[in-house]
Structure 1
Amino acid sequence: MDLQEAKKRVDELTATLEYHSNRYYVLDDPEIEDYEYDKLLHELIDIEEKYPELHQPNSPTSRVGGKALGQFESVVHEVQMGSLQDVFSEQDLRTFDTRVRESIPNPVYVVEPKIDGLSVSLEYRDGVFVRGSTRGDGLIGEDVTANLRTIRTIPLKLAEPLPFIEVRGEVFMPHKSFEDVVKAQELNDEKPFKNPRNAAAGSLRQKNPKITATRKLDIFVFNLQQIQGKEITSHSESLDYMKSLGFRVSPSYKKYENIDDVIAEINRIGENRNGFGFDIDGAVVKVDNFTHREKLGATAKYPRWAVAFKYPPEEKTTKLLKIEINVGRTGVLTPTAVFEPITLAGTTVSRATLHNQDYINDKGISVGDIVLVRKAGEIIPEVLCVVEHAGDQPVYQIPSVCPACGSHTVREIDMVAVVCVNPDCPAQLLRNLIHFASRDAMDIDGLGPAIVELLVNEGIVKSAADLYDLTVTDVASLERMGKKSANNLISAIEKSKSNDLSKLIFALGIKNIGQKAAKQLAQRFGSMESLATAKEDEISSIDGMGAVMAQYVCEFFAQPQSEHLLERLKTAGVNMQAKKSEMGEKLAGLTFVLTGTLPSMTRDEASQIIESLGGKTSSSVSKKTSYVLAGEDAGSKLTKAQALGIAVLTEDEFKQLIN
């Protein structure tokens, strides 16, 4: 296929994929199977990789994410993204109606659900998506275009090529997506998002759009900010028109001519909140006619033509039946309350996390207590307090024996967590393997949580070393895995053997040893053998390590199970040596702090260059800092460096230094 044929095929694939994406995600009426859609998408990816000049910013392939961003640029909103006045009772709604009728005798209202998410602006020129930004403070937001392109319900091209249109929408995380994200976080022993709104906000502000793409965010467009080439006279007309352009607009918006019907609709939405599949924290009432809105005007804070009715958080009492203990990847024991089922926010709940022993002690929780549980628009309920104690039952204590393996547990000084110290604890196996194979660790492409779970459940893999004994036959026998996928996975496992020592150290999951500490250990000791025999004082002497981290490292290598694991990995051919930099050690002994936006590289890229030349990076400026590499909009770090008399480099000066 030559360039001309490739361009023709790219245009065909783009049109086909956009059509089917709209059928599936916006109209909820797919015409082809997911498998067929994925085949077309991968064909487009392959062509764009062969002919990069054919890749357009709004290509359907942008849905899977692109290059990581260094920093979000500021966006000044031409039309302010304001907020609405909250009301909390039927009387408040009637007062609002009375105030409106003083100026507008016969108003028509539109009532729509208030989605609990993150407000964004979407801008289109000639029908093509050109920029998306967060609300920020209403006047200035952040450019998150690359991340918004990964949301499949945002049209990249409109059905009509208007000269310009800006719309406002609410990005949210559906309940199913939230549950999947939290499950993955728990498997990786990460702190899970508290609720879908926090998850949506955190996902939309990821520097790496590929991560955003995995979070399966969604959006509803609810407001027309500005438009050229079309005259719109009312809110309901704007919603209908935006829907015709390809946007998903507010679900179940309805028009009413009296406040009684408005109140009835708000109550109906509240009673059916569980049926939406995403969080709703209220309902919005807006005057429909735009001319009437102009007449009503606004206060210094809110428009006079709309209010947001907020539903009260639901709280109910129930009996605590038992407390279950979950063992995480790092051995942390987490208590979970199991209580008599209750209905909150339209769903039945019977479990809530109790976090740790301090949380239990502070609330005085005992099995058999009557507790107050809240689910304020959140998926994860919480125990607020004890309403009635169960007789003379003592406050619950997390056990001193691991429920999964029978080993002793310890609560370390100055730490809230109770930990199982056995690295071979079966409850930790799945989480350990997921971490071991993750991108920042051994980076085994294709070995995600689902495949790891299959391998563990089938009894094929019982330790990280077993991964290197896998055969194509082993993998191909798994559900949903064909021979080609099996071959790809075995190749990825083989490739991981050549990783730098720092990635293996991080993959081992030593407590409190993150990526940066793993790199420092690899650079300082040079080999796994040297690290395994290092003394605590040798490790703690490394800048930024400290006595506690040194203790964890030494305790890990003192375990017989750790020695056995490392011997098996070495026998399998896994690299145990730190790779020497091909670029030399020009920056050895120097510590850099990076701040601001650099003209031609991200801060991550600059950090990698510094570390490849033997230097170190730090997040804070101190007397030990050798240089501060400062870009545009550098803040307090630059000020502190100037006060301490530390040399400040521009990007050009940095390039001269390394060259």
Structure 2
Amino acid sequence: MAQQEMAVEALSEDDARKELERLALILDAANTAYHRDDAPDLTDAEYDRLKRRNAEIESRFPGLKRDDSPSERVGATPAEGFAKVRHEIRMMSLNNAFDDQDILSFDQSVRRYLGLSDDDPLAYTAEPKIDGLSLSLRYENGTLVQAATRGDGAVGENVTANARTITDLPIELKNAPDVIEVRGEVYMNHADFADLNARQGARGGKPFANPRNAAAGSLRQLDPNITKDRPLKFFAYSWGALSAPLAETQSGAIDRLTALGLQTNPLTQRCDTPEDMLFHYRKIEEQRATLGYDIDGVVYKVDDLAYQARLGFRSTTPRWAIAHKFPAELAWTWLEAIDIQVGRTGALSPVARLTPVTVGGVVVSNATLHNEDYIAGRDANGAPIRDGKDIRVGDWVQVYRAGDVIPKIADVDLSKRPASATPYAFPHECPECGSEAIREAGDAVRRCSGGLICPAQAVEKLKHFVSRAAFDIEGLGAKQVEQFYSDGWITEPADIFTLKDRYGSGVKQLRNREGWGEKSAQNLFDAIDEKRGIPLERLIFSLGIRHVGEVVAKLLARSYGTWDAFVTAVDAAHDPESDAWDSLIGIDGIGSVVATSLVSSFAQEAERASIDRLVSHLDVQDAERPQTDGSPVAGKTVVFTGSLERMTRAEAKARAERLGAKVSGSVSSRTDLLVAGPGAGSKETKARDLGIEIIDEDGWFDLIEGA
């Protein structure tokens, strides 16, 4: 859940570092929920707000930008069940704009990059931003040979058989280039969505929350016959790999896609000025409710493709395009109850139970209440929010959403507050285990102190342990974990790997349980045995340590290489004055918050014993090392500081790591090389004091040339 936040201008450097860690964790989880699981847990507006806050902090503190920054990520890792497809050209996301000034600033930034004056002509295209699922279609010699979802931008899911069932998606193209990857959006219109939900209800099935989820779930069915029965549609708006150019302009290329037989959006228009772009935005916004399908904004793209090529890309977004998002939608309803959910890290998260209300075409009945301060009508610093109005059971509340399921409470109408409504008393004890719920200084969240004795935490940790990015044991998902925990079969991760031995043959015991047969039981035990060999990064992530997500786990695995080296380093880092501590927080993307969480977890006797029991059943695979033959920086620790003009910091880091270097975020006696751009400050001073070699950006490129 989000917490109340300090203004960016008021953040100290330490505050900013902690806030960037928090935002990276929240947005990584939101990406996975939206892009991979089709089960969003943040509204679009809240997601966009957090990404914008992240960007503002990075702009104010560029030296604190993390390797797992949300501004460096696209989508989420693909789900299991489909073959993987590596995109020949990455599928990128877009930067977002929220007001007219953002669009004027976008135009100015494009002009500055291209060296154009305000008087030089510069055209754009403007098109509706469809709220659906991104899809890439590869045609060879005019025939559809492959369809893939975006996935994480680099690797998606092969959904070719399903895509072939979409009626307005041509299997053959006439007069097409020998190779063309058409990119666009799969969606479902409102009438078809209503009809699908009516059929779902008639069969006793669960209705879909919104057209976007219905479209995504339909396209990703393992049985193409189910997809065929779903009324999916497709708009083409871009392309990937091409054997021959489509046109010289974006608008010309869209016309060419239309001529090839693909559906393109009729509201796409060429605009000669930012004022034209904003006029078209208003025009589309006025038609939004009558379009018959969901859109959440307007996308602007530089029309001249030669200019697009010059502008190029940041790490995950093009410089030549931006998405102008629509404001969030609002509705009023009654707050019936406030429930407390206990998460994997012990966080007590309040959830509002609402009288169901339709917001933006979707019926919602739950809303996030973030934390106890938010309920009380104040931020983390005690300043009033909502004019100081608290939230009480029985209140008439305003909620908003922008295309997702769980909305946020924006306001309270005190004129309709019942006389019997009393201030909400946030629990100081865990509702699951009765342990004291502690709120540490500087933390907006109250957490259960019960640890492993808290059933809610134990179950959530086990669910995390078997999740896709962790051990991903086939046949052992969240439902099975709850069942086995309830019956006392599994209480900690190590129990999974002793399950068969503890119950004799295992198969015989399990096959007699509801939902299990001899074959499924044997398959489960085979799947468990198969996962005894586990990559280091997956093991680290699976432990469910607070603040250690997928990206952080990969950073740690890559930095230490082996489980023994990792554990030794974490144990040694218990002393904050040690070289081990400096090395840990010196890993680019690892800050003091993550390091403290790691050290604390491994220092807790019960948790450490549980980890040791688990590892005794595993064959932990060392992290892969890059091929660095002939690299002049292999094995060296490199720090980048100051403004980099020929590359982004993310690009510099990635290149250095491919060459076998370890990139650190801080200078220490273990640093071998400092690459200093304009504006380098304290890091350069410290490097000079320590006698560390210092080179500029040109020197860096000279050093690695040919490597």
| TM-score, L = length of structure 1 | 0.52
Out of 460, 466, 484, the residue aligned to residue 489 of structure 2 is 460
Change in 2 beyond 3 A, CA 1:281/1:520:
closer
Moved more, 325-334 or 415-424: 415-424
Q: Paired residue for 1:154? A: 163
**Cα deviation code 1:366-391 (max 9, x no counterpart):** 22322112344443232110111455
Matches within 5 A, 1:510-549: 510-513=545-548, 514-515=552-553, 516-517=555-556, 520=559, 526=565, 528=567, 531=570, 535-537=574-576, 538=578, 540-544=581-585, 547-549=592-594
The alignment-based identity, stated in percent, is: 31
**2:234 counterpart of 1:221:** yes
Is this contact kept in 1: 2:626–2:659, CA < 8 A? no
In 2, Cα distance between equivalents of 1:199 and 1:645: 51
Structure 1 residue matching 2:354: 3-state secondary structure: strand
Structure 2 residue matching 1:66: 3-state secondary structure: strand
Alpha-carbon shift at residue 329 of structure 1 (Å): 1.4
Change in 2 beyond 3 A, CA 1:607/1:456:
farther
In 2, Cα distance between equivalents of 1:401 and 1:368: 23
**2:632 counterpart of 1:590:** no
Alpha-carbon shift at residue 128 of structure 1 (Å): 1.9
In 2, Cα distance between equivalents of 1:200 and 1:643: 50
**2:427 counterpart of 1:399:** yes
Amino acid in structure 1 at the alignment position of 2:662: K
In 1, Cα distance between equivalents of 2:697 and 2:626: 34
Change in 2 beyond 3 A, CA 1:317/1:151:
farther
Amino acid in structure 2 at the alignment position of 1:398: F
Structure 2 residue matching 1:431: 3-state secondary structure: helix
If asked which structure has higher relative contact order (CA below 8 Å, sep 6+), I would say: 2
Change in 2 beyond 3 A, CA 1:366/1:427:
same
Out of 422, 431, 455, the residue aligned to residue 426 of structure 1 is 455
Out of 53, 60, 66, the residue aligned to residue 85 of structure 2 is 66
Change in 2 beyond 3 A, CA 1:563/1:413:
same
Alpha-carbon shift at residue 649 of structure 1 (Å): 6.9
Is this contact kept in 1: 2:638–2:672, CA < 8 A? yes
Change in 2 beyond 3 A, CA 1:617/1:458:
farther
Q: Paired residue for 1:509? A: 544
Alpha-carbon shift at residue 487 of structure 1 (Å): 4.0
Matches within 5 A, 1:84-103: none
In 2, Cα distance between equivalents of 1:359 and 1:479: 43
Q: Paired residue for 2:529? A: 494
**Cα deviation code 1:109-141 (max 9, x no counterpart):** xxxxx9534787857454324799999xxxxxx
Alpha-carbon shift at residue 351 of structure 1 (Å): 1.7
Amino acid in structure 2 at the alignment position of 1:437: V
Is this contact kept in 1: 2:639–2:673, CA < 8 A? yes
Is this contact kept in 1: 2:432–2:456, CA < 8 A? yes
Alpha-carbon shift at residue 282 of structure 1 (Å): 11
Q: Paired residue for 1:383? A: 409
In 2, Cα distance between equivalents of 1:130 and 1:580: 33
Q: Paired residue for 1:568? A: 613
**2:464 counterpart of 1:435:** yes
**Cα deviation code 1:142-189 (max 9, x no counterpart):** 9979648536553399554523289774335999xxxxxxxxxxxxxx
In 2, Cα distance between equivalents of 1:267 and 1:558: 59
Q: Paired residue for 1:370? A: 396
| TM-score, L = length of structure 2 | 0.49
Q: Paired residue for 1:296? A: none
Structure 1 residue matching 2:701: 3-state secondary structure: strand
Gaps of 5+ in 2: 1-79, 94-122, 191-208, 245-253, 266-284, 299-324, 378-384, 501-505, 685-693
Change in 2 beyond 3 A, CA 1:573/1:367:
same
In 1, Cα distance between equivalents of 2:469 and 2:238: 41
Alpha-carbon shift at residue 325 of structure 1 (Å): 0.9
Q: Paired residue for 1:643? A: 696
Alpha-carbon shift at residue 324 of structure 1 (Å): 0.7
Change in 2 beyond 3 A, CA 1:311/1:505:
closer
**Cα deviation code 1:204-262 (max 9, x no counterpart):** 9xxxx9xxx9xx99962347999x9xxxxxxxxx9xx99x98x8999xxxxxxxxxxxx
In 2, Cα distance between equivalents of 1:441 and 1:486: 21
Q: Paired residue for 2:441? A: 413
Gaps of 5+ in 1: 1-60, 75-79, 86-113, 136-141, 176-193, 229-237, 251-265, 284-309, 630-635, 655-659
In 2, Cα distance between equivalents of 1:415 and 1:199: 37
**Cα deviation code 1:570-603 (max 9, x no counterpart):** 5x53358978989999944524779999xxx999
Change in 2 beyond 3 A, CA 1:557/1:281:
closer
Q: Paired residue for 1:163? A: 175
Structure 2 residue matching 1:383: 3-state secondary structure: strand
Change in 2 beyond 3 A, CA 1:249/1:485:
farther
Out of 354, 364, 367, the residue aligned to residue 352 of structure 1 is 367
In 1, Cα distance between equivalents of 2:610 and 2:154: 45
**Cα deviation code 1:403-450 (max 9, x no counterpart):** 111112222333322222322121123321232234544454554445
Alpha-carbon shift at residue 321 of structure 1 (Å): 2.3
Structure 1 residue matching 2:606: 3-state secondary structure: helix
Change in 2 beyond 3 A, CA 1:169/1:272:
closer
In 2, Cα distance between equivalents of 1:148 and 1:391: 55
Alpha-carbon shift at residue 517 of structure 1 (Å): 3.6
Out of 556, 560, 563, the residue aligned to residue 601 of structure 2 is 556
Two-structure CA RMSD over aligned residues (Å): 6.3
In 2, Cα distance between equivalents of 1:71 and 1:221: 20
Amino acid in structure 2 at the alignment position of 1:356: N
In 1, Cα distance between equivalents of 2:297 and 2:596: 51
Alpha-carbon shift at residue 314 of structure 1 (Å): 5.5
Is this contact kept in 2: 1:121–1:169, CA < 8 A? yes
**2:345 counterpart of 1:330:** yes
In 2, Cα distance between equivalents of 1:645 and 1:420: 52
Alpha-carbon shift at residue 645 of structure 1 (Å): 6.8
Is this contact kept in 1: 2:636–2:673, CA < 8 A? no
**Cα deviation code 1:71-121 (max 9, x no counterpart):** 5599xxxxx994359xxxxxxxxxxxxxxxxxxxxxxxxxxxx95347878
In 1, Cα distance between equivalents of 2:130 and 2:407: 19
Structure 2 residue matching 1:317: 3-state secondary structure: strand
In 2, Cα distance between equivalents of 1:451 and 1:370: 39
In 2, Cα distance between equivalents of 1:200 and 1:461: 37
Amino acid in structure 2 at the alignment position of 1:433: L
In 1, Cα distance between equivalents of 2:188 and 2:516: 29
